[in-house]
Structures are given as structure tokens and as C-alpha cells.
Amino acid sequence: MEGFLAGIFKHHADVLEAIIESSYDGLWICDGEGKILKINKASEKINDVSAKDVIGRNVKDLVREGLFDKSVTLEVLKKKKRVSILQTLSNGKTLLVTGNPIFIDGKLEYVVTNDRDITELIHLKEELEESRKTSRKYYKKLQDALKRKGGEETRFIFCSKVMRSIHETVRNVAEVDVTVFLQGESGVGKSRLAKMIHSLSERAKAPFIHVNCGAIPENLLESELFGYVKGAFTGARNEGKPGLVEMADKGTLFLDEITELPLNLQVKLLHFLDSEVVKRVGDTKERKIDVRIIAASNRDIAKYVKMKRFREDLYFRLNIVPIVIPPLRDRREDIPLLIAYFLERFNKKYGKEVTITPEAVDLLCRYSFPGNIRELSNILERLIVMSRKPQIEVGDLPDYVKEDVFVPLETDPSAVPLKTTLKNAVSECERNILKQALTVCRTQQEMAELLGVSQPTIARKLRQHMLESPWKNNGAH
Ligand SMILES: Nc1ncnc2c1ncn2[C@@H]1O[C@H](COP(=O)(O)OP(=O)(O)OP(=O)(O)O)[C@@H](O)[C@H]1O
Ligand SMILES: [Mg+2]
């Protein structure tokens, strides 16, 4: 070996030897016949061979013995030019092997082959590809989520604890295809919540079909829900029609006011929920439908079940995740936030910049809102549209709001001892109400407005109950 190096490079032999050995790539050097003259340490390691076993032997023999499946050296000798191949070894490594011919005086004297272990590189490339795929997937998901999030209709405003817990439940169940049953008074946000569930789910791009079971005449409900075929009944459209259930395929079917569904259709609905197939009216063909069900009711459905007006089995089937949305008066802390939200929304809509006084917000916070959020939204929209002033004040609020303010009682009137006379009990209750009103009003006039009586009556009652008003200028101004 020394002779070989010495023969070629003479006094540079040691330096060359060091360079060859320090190479991270494997190096094979053969003569013009394919006889192995030198392999470095890196090559021993990469190829799992030892130098002493191969040096002096011909690569043709090594290929014949099965040590390698192909030889770049032989290819170079044949083609007399540089050759590169990818080689997979039995130990699982992948090599990029490049053989270079070395001509001396036009004669191919040596072949120098360079083995580069690219297993790691391939690994990294695969990982890179995988992570690119993953990031593409997440990017798409993010875009979808942003698209879904976009709509005004799916914004949900709250700060109360009870709504936070509802919101959390909704976010948790949205992605699962579980049936959700929303209960709550009219205007509490059932429809909005249903849309939100749909838009947060994987079905967001598929249809959201809102069926108001109470709004469709009973005789049309079956064909509206399940569709019909040509000639199914008199008046049926000639070509037939798919039903709302079918139209919601792959999406969400929102069955609103579910208690209004007649008993015969409750049976049909239950059958559909169990079988997931629909048959159009007058049809024999069954169609497989994939929908997520959300049901809602503003009535006490349990009572309907008790009265046998609603099938218990259907109730159980729908009531898998029950969500009860409390009325606005039971979560008054949401009112100021909702006021701010609607002000912003309607100001934008009507190109105005109306604000509201803290007193007016306070009064609204004490109103009972039988129509819940819908009523609050309507009140504010009307006030903004009508407003000629930059600020909404107590006086601008509708009379029915001012007349129906809730004053929390310090003492529960029912806690008045039973032994007392009715007159005394009423008087005690009146005193409590006046005391409460004194804490929230700034004038006798405001108290009069709050309690729906005249200012002189307030003055008289305060005197009668020996209650002092805390205002400096005690009087009606
Ligand atoms: N948390 C909320 N944030 C913002 N707007 C809301 C919220 N909840 C409800 N709304 C709005 O209040 C109005 C009434 O809500 P929604 O229609 O969802 O009530 P509902 O419970 O379905 O009433 P109904 O029983 O009459 O169908 C809608 O305009 C809705 O967008
Ligand atoms: Mg609704």
C-alpha cells in the first residue's frame, strides 16, 4: 500500500494518506482492472467490511460472492466515465456512490469511488416532506377555522359563569357527531348556539338546515321533512322533491321547536334516527343520510313527555347532550357586555355613534327581559335608529322597561312572620322596596319612575316609613 501511494505521489504520501483517512465519505481506490488498492476507515464502517479482507481482491469477485449487488467501479471501467448510483445495503443504509475514472496518459489507471451515507439525509428529507404535509394540513385547518369563525351569526357574547360553562361544553361537543338538545326561553340564543356548533364542527362547509317544527303546517310537515316522489299526493310537484332531512345530508339538521312535532312524525323521526335512512313520501327506495342532529325547544319538554304529547323514547334519543340556556334575567352580568356589543353592531349598521349613559345601562340590567337577548337587541336597535341625541338616557328607554325593573329585596317578603297581620306584612314589604329603591335612585322623581307611582306618593311614603333620602337636596328634581 505504501508503495502504491509512494509510487503516485512520492513525498506527499503521508499527507495524502491522512486526507483519505480523515474523509467522512468512504473512499475506494481500484486499479484499471478492478483490483482494490485502498479503502479508508469511513468506507469500512459504511460497508461493514474490513480493509484487510478486501484489499488486493477484485471487485468482480466480490460482486460474484454477493458482497455487493452492483459495483460502480465495474460500471466506470466499462463506461470509462463518471458513474453515480444509489445503493441500498443489507444493513438498511442508503449510499450515494460515485465512481471517478483517473486517466494517466489517456489510459484508465485508477477508479476512485466515493461512498456517501445518505440514510440520514433521506430520513431528513422524508421528515421534511412529512412536516411539510402536516403544516399544509394545519394551514388548511386554520384557514377553514377562520372561514368558519368569520360569520357574525356565530359570535357568542357572554361573561357569566353559567354561559362560560355552556360555551365550553359546546366547544367540546362540536367536533363530535353527538346529538345536542338545547333548551331555554325564546330569545336566549338557542338558534345562535346551534349555528355555532355547526360552524365549529367538521361539517361546517356542508349545509345547516333549520327546521322550525312549529312553523310548518302539520299536513305539509311530513313531505317537507322527508320529501316526496312524483304523484305522491294531490298538489305534489310533478318531479317530486327531496325533504329537509335529505337536504341536510353530510351537514347539520337543526330541529327547532321539536315539541311541536306531531306524534306520528315523532315515530318517523325516531325511525330515521335509528336507521339513518329516509324514504320520501310515496317512495319505496330508501336513501342513506348522514346528518348531525341538534334539537331545540323553548318549552318544558319533560312536561310534554309526562302528558304523552312527546314520545319518551324520542326524548331520550335526542337528549344525549342536554344544554339548558338560562334566561337573561338569571345572568344579568351578561347584559352590559351585550349592550356594548349591540351598540357597536347597530352603530356600524346605521352609520351612527350613539353611546349610552351608565344609568340607562343600570336600568336595563334590572329589567326582566321576557324576550331575552332578542328583546335587548330589538330595544337597542330601535333606540339607535330613532336617536336624535348622541347618548341614550334613562328617559329614552321604553316605558314598559322602566315600569318593570327588578329591585332585589334585602329581606324576602315571604320571610315576614306569619303571625303578623296582612296590613303589617304589606307595610313591611313596602318599606323594604323603598329602602332598596333609595339605594339605586338619585331623586324622588327617579324613584317614582322606578316604582311606577307619582313623586308626591314617594315623598309621602318615605315620611310614613320614616325613611331619610340620602340626597342633599331632598326633593323632586
Ligand atoms: N350570546 C349571544 N351573543 C350575541 N348575540 C346573541 C347571543 N345569544 C343570542 N343572540 C342574538 O339574540 C337573538 C335571539 O337569539 P336566538 O334566535 O338564537 O334565540 P332562540 O333561543 O333561538 O329563540 P327562539 O326560541 O325564539 O327561536 C338573535 O339575534 C341572536 O343572534
Ligand atoms: Mg331559535
For the Cβ of 327 lying below 6 angstroms from any atom of ligand 1, the answer is no
For residue 420, pLDDT beyond 60: no
Q: Do 355 and 395 have their domain in common?
A: yes
- Considering only residues 117 and 5, tell me which one the structure prediction assigns the higher pLDDT: 117
Ligand 2: distance of its center to the CA of 222 in Å? Answer: 21
For residue 465, pLDDT beyond 70: yes
- What is the pLDDT at residue 330? 92
Q: Which ligand does the CA of 378 lie closest to?
A: 1
Q: Do 358 and 314 have their domain in common?
A: no
For the Cβ of 187 lying below 6 angstroms from any atom of ligand 1, the answer is yes
3-state DSSP call for residue 227? strand
- What is the pLDDT at residue 417? 45
Ligand 2: distance of its center to the CA of 47 in Å? Answer: 73
For residue 477, pLDDT beyond 60: no
Domain that includes residue 455, residue range: 413-464
Between CA 126 and CA 134 the distance in angstroms is: 12
Per-residue pLDDT, averaged over 138-151, amounts to 55
Could you read off the pLDDT of 216-267 as tens digits, one per residue?
888 888 999 999 988 766 665 667 889 999 999 999 999 999 999 999 999 9
Residues with CB under 5 A from ligand 2 (ion): 190-191
Q: Which ligand does the CA of 187 lie closest to?
A: 1
Ligand 2: distance of its center to the CA of 297 in Å? Answer: 8
Between CA 387 and CA 280 the distance in angstroms is: 52
pTM to 2 decimals?
0.59
Pairing of strands 208-212, 252-256: parallel
In the Cβ-directed half-sphere of 244, how many Cα atoms lie within 13 Å? 21
On whether residue 186 sits in a domain, the answer given is yes
* CATH code where residue 396 lies: 1.10.8.60
User: Percentage of the chain surpassing pLDDT 90?
Assistant: 50
Q: What are the cell numbers at 468?
A: 331619610
Between CA 389 and CA 70 the distance in angstroms is: 91
Q: What are the cell numbers at 424?
A: 303589617
Number of separate domains in the chain: 4
For residue 409, what pLDDT band results from cuts at 50, 70 and 90? very low
Q: What are the cell numbers at 119?
A: 440514510
Q: Do 247 and 219 have their domain in common?
A: yes
**Atom number in ligand 1 closest to CA 192:** 18
* Close Cβ partners of 67 (under 8 Å, ≥ 6 residues apart): 49
On whether residue 297 sits in a domain, the answer given is yes
Q: Do 352 and 306 have their domain in common?
A: no
For the Cβ of 377 lying below 6 angstroms from any atom of ligand 1, the answer is yes
On whether residue 122 sits in a domain, the answer given is no
Between CA 429 and CA 329 the distance in angstroms is: 22
